[in-house]
Amino acid sequence: MTTESFGESLRRLRSERGWSLRRLSDESHIDKGHLSRIERDKRPPSETIASAVDLALQADGVLIAIAQVQQAQETRAAVTSDPMRRRTLVTMPLAAAMASLGAAGDTTHRVGRVGVTDAERLHRAVARLRALGHQHGGENLWQAAAGVAREGYQLLENGTYTESVGDQILAATGRAQMCAGWLAFDSGQQDIARSCYNEALSLASQSANASIEIHALVNLAFQSSFLGMPRQALRYAEAAGRIANGYDKRGRIAVVPLIRQATAHAIAGNEVESGKAAADARRHLDKAHEEGDDWCTFVSSAELDGIEATVAMKLGQAARAETLLQRAVAAHGVGFARNRALYRVRLASTRLDLRDVVGAAVSANEAMDDLSGEVASWVINTELQNVAQRLAQHPEETHVERFIKRYLASATDDRGARQ
């Protein structure tokens, strides 16, 4: 039996075919940087990736078998390792979850009868990808969501279905576009994200789906705030709020436009209006019924803490931001590791504003723990880079020295992956 790792076997088979890493990326539809990290055994392969490269290289199942053996070995090793290593077990469901997306995302042309089960299958795929995004960040995932959307379009164009089923396929495709947009946003693909959101708006109009319309508008508001366009963000958020009040005034969905308004007002420097919108969001959440649209599951007291903290940072209220961020970090479990890492980075930034260098370095190191647990987010990495630059001005601190070493090692890995 071969003693090669998956990465070594992948590199050897690719070389035997005379393919560059770019060629393999094009043939397998997998990000080149991610493939590079896998070849260098910096990242484990998911079953989906193993299947894709095995098919591209015509390896007759060899790579799939090696990946399965390697994953089993890593699981056994993790169970017997120290507590910090045991934390990384939370990333193991990623492979299984991604593998289960194989059916929804297969863009083969379908001719024939399309039914409710097809719409349900697309919805399930989107739900899994959304959960993976919360846990792992958007990098290397948005393409999968785009694939689900493509299958939805093909069902609509090539299938035979009733009007009711057609509306359900339209809705599922719209959800897939929203998921792809958010994941692309988190990957730094802003043009792709906006295109996905606008396409979702079109699909929402075709199916008269208010939920998707609200979702697209609040995400456009969020992106506009991120890009420094608070007036545009406010217009999107206010439009979403008007629709939400007619759709489900007492649901969690009505909270989201308010928190987007709070952020937009903060970026514009309007402290009073920002505070009012944030307070309204809290009141709405306290009265909201438990049932509601599945994409609103992220709306919670913990998430409002994180969003209000971000607003406080924009308004220069560092002490308040620190308190809120501590609460947000404590409340986000492994299922929301991406947001926990984000709030830890922001906590580090806030503590630097408060001149607490040691506390900032501790938070930055904790963020690195999350990132080493298979969280990959351009948004987080961008903010972490700024924290690293500020911490580098204090090399005498032990916690800072440890963080800088870890950060530079991680940055070196990423640069190698891009080459």
CB 243 within 8 A of CB 213: yes
* pLDDT of 95 over the 70 cut: no
As a whole number, mean pLDDT of residues 306-326 equals 96
Phi, psi of 374 (to 5 degrees): 75, 30
Q: What is the DSSP letter of 206?
A: H
CB 197 within 8 A of CB 177: yes
* pLDDT of 14 over the 70 cut: yes
Question: Among 225, 247, 221, 223, which Cα is nearest to 236's?
Answer: 221
pTM value?
Answer: 0.72
CB 283 within 8 A of CB 240: no
CA atoms within 13 A on the CB side of 42: 17
Number of C-beta neighbours around residue 26 at 10 A: 13
CATH annotation of 1-93:
1.10.260.40
CB 278 within 8 A of CB 259: yes
CB 170 within 8 A of CB 117: no
What is the band of 173 on the pLDDT scale with cuts at 50, 70, 90?
Answer: very high
Tens-place pLDDT, residues 223-282: 999 999 999 999 999 999 999 999 998 889 999 999 999 999 999 999 999 999 999 999
Cα–Cα distance, 134 to 298 (Å, whole number):
9
* pLDDT of 2 over the 60 cut: no
Domain ranges in the chain are 1-93, 100-208, 213-299, 331-419
